[in-house]
Chain A
């Protein structure tokens, strides 16, 4: 352990850990205000229908019911992205999936509210429902929305960097593959919940389990028509988000309007069933990839096509679509690259961002595709990746700026620890090893709505008793953002984490942070916190320098003291030092802010993908498969993650292990599937997700590439480590049984089907055969950045 720091890099417990373990943490549903009413949403029982008429009078007459809302009461549309303002708080004239909110009720208790829902009469005219990508593209006669890039096409993207035809012409080997990745829910332990309270002075407060209080604030202003200055949004501690609480939601807006109508606080806590309908989970994605390689295994060109099943609304879908094509180039040098992607609307709960947002699906496809290529060429799969590996401080063909990159070290760590090269292909039948790598963002380079302001701001105030209060709109969703803020400030000021109090995620009290999404908080809020803390320290040093008669540049803050580096005994206690500073400058407070440098490339669509830094991961997975039952058991996972610097190695390990666990659920079990227009099983018992018993031995290696722009060199750990695990499992199954499951999840029945296919002389593959033959629009042709002009082909 380094002596360079006293807090950074130390395995200290999370600052919010005890509260959560002891049950003291107050989640949104724990809030109970005097005179509070309980709200419920009536949701559509049709996948697609026109609303002819809604009659709420029977519900309104029910004793205990205080207010009933329908779509006409809140007609203003909203949505997380400015380009997809397609959601209504309560459906106005059309419902688009089973679970789409139609009406809202506030009553004296939940039971009465629930009963009132039964007394709302909705007259529906059912419409044909579209339940798959194929249907969406085929049924031009059925339109889910009246906007988009084509019939039921929400977004269509076509980008070409350099001339791919030229790249394929230079290739000695070309391979095409097709993959499908089924969607999944985030399955947070805490269901969505919001409490709203409208006060006599026109001030509205909304407490919500949200990852993005700022965006909720904006949506409330828009839909309620109430000035943002009169609205306060407080994000309560989030009991699991994973991307599922990053949109503004109907229950938040409805609770607010119900409170404004009744003058009483209103709480709406969603049921587990509703969480599956709110969704915003992993998009089902159908993928086609074609790669050309030179004889030595170097990639000459790649063409990637993705088809996303977006569900009923836009949500983050435009960004998701771009993300399915953006990050392929951040791990491998791809000199010519073409990406075509489209997202369709279907009559299912809307998909959105789930841990890895839009990148786990193509990463799965790409890493399995490369393993197949390695087999074609007779090159070791690790070696194939090494030959194409991206270099630190380089620019990709699609203009992504790579800075620190510990990918090579990650690969070495897992390959060596697992004995991958010695053991792969030599294990007993049924046992296998798989390998894959990945990269992820450390914060989206651009905010969700265009603006020129910082993406993260932190304010620090020092009390005369020596206590330090840090104000930030960042919200801890379990990823440890509270701890990161405390540890970075404690390090800069030389005090203990316990000396610091946090005020977070409150639009009245805290300066901006855009939210806990895109793995941005450590990097962006962390940098803002370091800047604010450094300003405080500078003020304290100036005052101490005068008191001690030592040049400020020689002072050190550490162990609750400010002292002379060259004469350690000469110093002041922290409290004396901050008092001296306050006497000198007045209020001891400072702010810091972070705005990502301009990173987007010279083309339309370049806003999605750029990040101030990328984290890197590599994983080896060992599986044992039962060839008679098709069951796949993950025995061991080795995973290395380049986090830049571990601000707290315990938290990093926790995030890595949590990511591995989530990845295993997706690759082996989880699927948000539908039958007869309804979610097949919106229940935690029937929707299969792994338990502790299915969680394997994990060996985590933290790689520190010390990013030049990260706070103390830190990057992200919350999402990236999920990415390599899914393809590593698929590659391990291929090693174990010699079959290819090109469709996630890898269920026992698919494994048996693949084995049966091989016994009958087939290739032993289960997966989609082709992708729709739709003509994408002409690509935006982008000349590659300097360095990529010519591809040297041996």
Chain B
């Protein structure tokens, strides 16, 4: 890894100022909050912004409000550590607490933010490599090149959505507030993502993510399972966010299953959700749902472990997540630090 290249750092005091700075310096500007992903990417010359707009001083991006009954409003600038420590997250929104806890390691979670993770760049092991390595493969279309080495015949980039929080945000039907030069908008979290490794965000470059609005839990049980080689540091190579509501008869009245790290955007397992509605969350229904989630998942050969293995794990992890939500005897979720 090389050292950081020279750049200009701007510290806006208001969101309006930040948005203007981003628009003025476009396309050479990027926003930075915790910087835990951005700076290493700059050292590898994956990002080469001339201007960084620092969001750390923006009060509008700070703070968490609410609880399980009222729902949550989470500032995009809240650190992952703060998020995990917030009582309603730790004590109610299991999926949020676990997904945030699974992100990297304690030091990174002290710096890294909710917004930073939701918007984190897609990853690929032909792309997240040092500059000279990428040069030796003539680069790839995501940066400096024109081929996608994952599928050289095609015309798109297959880098992987690698955020742990996004599948959870989708599973909870969260909304996000964006502010750009064109004004403010509130959109469903799912609209924040596009299934393309390069244009992976449904947001304008000048738009700043302000906060995430999470609906009330209202009896919903949630969880998140993350597959990776080590219990710390590693990005997900599969994430399973699941949320269900059961009626008095233990039948599913609501089900959301969203997969992370199997495509360039979080993948909503709609068929699996449909399978569960109206059924008791028993082993048979869980198997059926796991099969329905397994079918559309198409991991590719661009991250750790083989694609066949990762696809196989979709079934195992969906099963385990649902067993946990059903209160059935289940394996322990992966340990982490």
Task: List chain A positions with a Cβ less than 8 A from chain B.
Answer: 43-46, 98, 110-111, 114, 271-273, 626, 628-630, 669, 676, 678-683, 685-686, 688, 690-694, 747-749, 752
Contacts and interface: CB of A to CB of B under 8 A. Distances in A.
Given A45-B136, A693-B337, A694-B230, A629 B305 contact: no
Interface in B1-25: 1-3, 5
30 contacts: A43-B132, A45-B135, A98-B136, A110-B3, A114-B2, A271-B1, A271-B2, A273-B1, A273-B133, A628-B331, A629-B227, A629-B313, A629-B316, A678-B133, A678-B136, A680-B125, A681-B129, A685-B233, A685-B234, A686-B129, A688-B234, A691-B232, A693-B230, A693-B231, A693-B335, A694-B230, A747-B305, A748-B309, A749-B305, A749-B306
Nearest to B305: A749
A686 B316 contact: no
Given A678-B137, A680-B125, 11 more contacts: A44-B136, A110-B3, A271-B130, A273-B1, A273-B132, A273-B133, A676-B137, A683-B128, A688-B234, A693-B336, A747-B305
B136 A273 contact: no
B229 interface: yes
Given A691-B230, A693-B335, A682 B305 contact: no
A25 to B, nearest CB: 22
Nearest to A633: B335
B102 interface: no
A748 B317 CA distance: 14
Contacts of A690: 230
A682 B133 contact: yes
Interface of B: 1-3, 5, 125, 128-130, 132-133, 135-137, 149, 227, 229-234, 304-306, 308-309, 312-313, 316, 331, 335-337
A691 B5 CA distance: 30
Nearest to A756: B312
Contacts of B5: 111
Nearest to A678: B136
Given A271-B1, A669-B229, A693-B335, A688 B304 contact: yes
Give the secondary structure class of B's interface: loop
Contact of A752 (B3, B125, B233, B309): B309
A98 B132 CA distance: 10
A272 B304 contact: no
A688 B229 contact: yes
A608 to B, nearest CB: 35
Contacts of A676: 137, 149
B250 to A, nearest CB: 25
B230 A688 contact: yes
A691 B228 CA distance: 13
A686 B335 contact: no
A337 to B, nearest CB: 39
A170 to B, nearest CB: 45
A43 B135 CA distance: 11
A46 B5 CA distance: 26
Contacts of A693: 230-232, 335-337
Contacts of B2: 110, 114, 271
Contact of A749 (B128, B132, B135, B309): B309
Q: Looking at A629, A690, A692, which has the most chain B CB atoms within 10 Å of its CB?
A: A629
A150 B313 CA distance: 46
B125 A111 contact: no
Contacts of A694: 230-231
Report the 10 A-B pairs with minimum CB-CB distance, sorted nearest first.
A45-B136, A693-B231, A749-B309, A273-B130, A688-B229, A628-B316, A98-B136, A693-B337, A749-B306, A691-B230
Contacts of A692: 337
A748 B132 contact: no
A110 B1 CA distance: 12
B336 A748 contact: no
Contacts of B335: 693
Contact of A685 (B128, B136, B313): B128
Nearest to A669: B229
Contacts of B3: 110-111
A752 B312 contact: yes
B208 to A, nearest CB: 28
A115 to B, nearest CB: 10
A525 B295 CA distance: 64
A329 to B, nearest CB: 37
A691 B125 contact: no
A626 B335 CA distance: 14
A680 B232 CA distance: 21
A114 B316 CA distance: 47
Contacts of A110: 2-3
A339 B111 CA distance: 56
A271 B229 CA distance: 24
A682 B131 CA distance: 11
Q: Looking at B1, B3, B229, B306, which has the most chain A CB atoms within 10 Å of its CB?
A: B229
A626 B229 CA distance: 13
B137 A691 contact: no
A678 B129 CA distance: 12
A680 B149 CA distance: 13
Contacts of B1: 271-273, 683
Given A681-B125, A683-B129, A691-B232, A46 B316 contact: no
Contacts of B232: 691, 693
B125 to A, nearest CB: 6
Contact of A682 (B130, B229, B230, B231): B130
A685 B237 CA distance: 13
B308 A749 contact: yes
Contacts of A747: 305
A691 B132 CA distance: 27
Given A110-B3, A688-B229, A693-B231, A679 B309 contact: no
A669 B234 CA distance: 13
Nearest to B335: A693
A682 B133 CA distance: 8
A191 to B, nearest CB: 10
Contacts of B316: 628-629
A677 to B, nearest CB: 8
Contacts of B135: 45
A692 B137 CA distance: 34
Nearest to B149: A676
Contacts of B128: 683, 685-686
A208 to B, nearest CB: 21
A46 B136 CA distance: 7
Nearest to A668: B229
A392 B234 CA distance: 47
A111 B5 CA distance: 8
Nearest to A109: B3
A626 B334 CA distance: 12
A46 B335 CA distance: 41
Given A628-B316, A752-B309, A686 B304 contact: yes
A273 B43 CA distance: 13
Contacts of B234: 685, 688
A271 B312 CA distance: 36
A757 to B, nearest CB: 14
Contacts of A43: 132
Contacts of A680: 125
A691 B231 contact: yes
A746 to B, nearest CB: 13
B136 to A, nearest CB: 4
Contact of B129 (A46, A114, A628, A682): A682
B167 to A, nearest CB: 19
Q: Looking at B128, B313, B337, which has the most chain A CB atoms within 10 Å of its CB?
A: B313
A686 B125 contact: yes
Contacts of B305: 747-749
Contacts of B133: 98, 273, 678-679, 682
A683 B229 CA distance: 15
A747 B3 CA distance: 34
Given A681-B129, A688-B230, A691-B230, A626 B331 contact: yes
Q: Looking at A682, A691, A692, which has the most chain B CB atoms within 10 Å of its CB?
A: A691
